[in-house]
Amino acid sequence: MASVTIADVRKAYGTAQVLHGINIDVADGEFVTLVGPSGCGKSTLLRMIAGLEDITGGEISIGDRTVNELPPKARDIAMVFQNYALYPHMTVAQNMGYSMKLRRASKEETAKAVQEAARILDLEPLLQRFPKQLSGGQRQRVAMGRAIVRDPKVFLFDEPLSNLDAKLRVQMRAEIKELHQRLQTTIIYVTHDQVEAMTMADRIVVMRDGRVEQIGRPLDLYDNPANKFVAGFIGSPAMNFIDGTVTGGLFFTTDGVSLPLPATSSAIEGKPVTYGIRPEHFRIDPNGFAARVQVVEPMGSETQIVVRLGTKDLTCLFRERVEPRPSDTLTLSVDPQQVRLFDASSGAALQA
C-alpha cells in the first residue's frame, strides 16, 4: 500500500490547458473517487498517475517516490478499465496470471496468486473459461482479479462499471467496496456517476473544467457544498435552485412567492442569491405555500413529484405514500435549516 500525492499537476495539449494545477493528497489505504461531468479532466488525471499520459507540470508521488518520469510498469500500480481489456484467446486463469508470467514468476507462485484472487472474487468455477463465455459482471471481476494478482501499491479504476446494466452496477459497487475493505489497498476511482461516488468513497474529489471544486467525505459534500456546482452535482435527484433576493431577513421572494430562510440570514439582506433546497426536504403542510403538480413518479418506497412554483419547476421527494394527480395543488413547506444559499453571480456558498 502507498499514499499518492498530486502537487500542482498540470496538463496541456499544445496551447489547450486541460488540468489547471491539481492538488490532492490520498492517504495510504484510502478510497478516493474523482467525479465530475464528461470532459472535466478526471480520466486524464488518472492516466497521468498511471504513467499513460505525460505530465506538463507539477509532481506526482506514489509512496516516497516521485513518478513523473517512471514508466507505468515501474510505478507499482494496477489499472482496471471500463472495457475490461481481457485477452480473448486466454482463459480466465491465464488472463489473471499474465502479469506474473511477464515477471517470470514460477508456475507455482502464479497458480497460488491466481487461486487466491479467484477465491476473493468468487471466480474459482470460471478459471478455465474464456472471456466470450462470461457475462459483463464476470469479465469485470476477472479484470479486478488480474489487478489483485499484481499485488500493487495502488489500484486505479477508470469508470469500470459504465458498461454494465443498472442492477449489475449496484452489485459490482458493493463488491468493489467489499474488496477495498478486505485488501485495505489505496484506490483512486474515476466515475461520472455521483451515486457511485457517494456510496463507495472515503472521500470525493469533485472536478469541473480541469479544476478541483471541492474535496471531502460524501456526506460533508452533500450537506455543505462549497458552491452551486457541487450542490447540484452531488445528490440524486439534484438540488432545486431558485434565483431571487433576501427580503426582511426572513424570506426569499421569487415570482411573488415567499420561502423561509435560516434565522441568521440578515447579513445578506437585499443581495441577489440562489436559493437551494434538496427534494427530500419538502414536506406536505396545510399551512405551507401552494404549488401545482406537474408530474408524479411513484417508485414504491418513495414518490417523486415535480411541482411548479411561480414559473419554476421543483422536484420533491416524499418517503410517505402520496398520490396527487397532475394539475392538483399541493401545499408544501421546507425546513429553513436545510436551505443553502449561493451567490447569484459566482455560485459560491453563502453563510446564512
Q: What is the pLDDT of residues 226-247, one digit of tens each?
A: 999 999 999 989 999 998 888 7
- Quick one: pLDDT at residue 125? 92
Mean of all residue pLDDT scores within the chain: 91
Sign of CA pseudo-dihedral 91, 96, 101, 105: negative
Mean pLDDT of 184-207: 94
The total of other beta-carbon atoms located within 10 Å of residue 304's CB is: 16
Q: Average pLDDT, stretch 21-50?
A: 96
Span 173-192, mean pLDDT? Answer: 91
Is a pLDDT exceeding 90 seen at residue 166? no
- Name the pLDDT band for 249 (thresholds 50, 70, 90): low
* Rounded Cα–Cα distance for residues 206 and 233 (Å): 9
Amino acid 161: pLDDT: 87
pLDDT at 2 over 70: yes
CA–CA dist 117, 113 (Å, integer): 6
> If you average pLDDT over residues 187-205, what whole number do you get?
94
Q: What is the pLDDT of residue 175?
A: 86
| pLDDT score of 171 more than 70 | yes
What does the pLDDT read at residue 81? 85
Q: Report the interhelical angle of 92-102 vs 107-120 (nearest 10°).
A: 130
Least confident of 26-40, 56-70, 98-112: 98-112
What cell numbers appear for 14 in the block?
499544445
| Residue 54 binned pLDDT confidence (cut-offs 50, 70, 90) | very high
Cα(326)–Cα(318) distance, rounded to whole angstroms? 16
CA 16, distance to chain mean position in Å, is 26
- pLDDT of res. 120: 87
What single string gives the DSSP state of each residue in 206-261? EEETTEEEEEE-HHHHHHS-SBHHHHHHSSSSPPEEEEEEEETTTEEEETTEEEE-
C-alpha cell read off for 276: 437551494
Distances (CA, A) of 91 to 83, 121, 146, 150, 197: 17, 16, 12, 17, 32
Residue pLDDT, tens place only, 3-34: 999 999 999 999 999 999 999 999 999 999 99
Task: Give 228: exposed, middle or buried? Use CB within 10 Å, 0-12, 13-18, 19+.
Answer: buried
Q: What letter would DSSP give residue 348?
A: B
Confidence (pLDDT) at 264: 60
Q: Residue 250: its pLDDT value, please?
A: 63
User: Which residues are CB-contacts of 300 (< 8 A; sequence separation ≥ 6)?
Assistant: none
Q: Tell me how far CA of residue 297 lies from CA of 117, 137, 294, 322, 329, in angstroms.
A: 43, 30, 10, 10, 16
pLDDT at 240: 96
Confidence of residue 260 (pLDDT cuts 50, 70, 90): confident
Which set of grid coordinates corresponds to residue 158? 477508470
Stretch 105-113: mean pLDDT:
90
| pLDDT for residue 280 | 95
pLDDT at res. 352: 53
The whole-angstrom separation of Cα 131 and Cα 121 is: 16
What pLDDT does residue 172 have?
A: 85
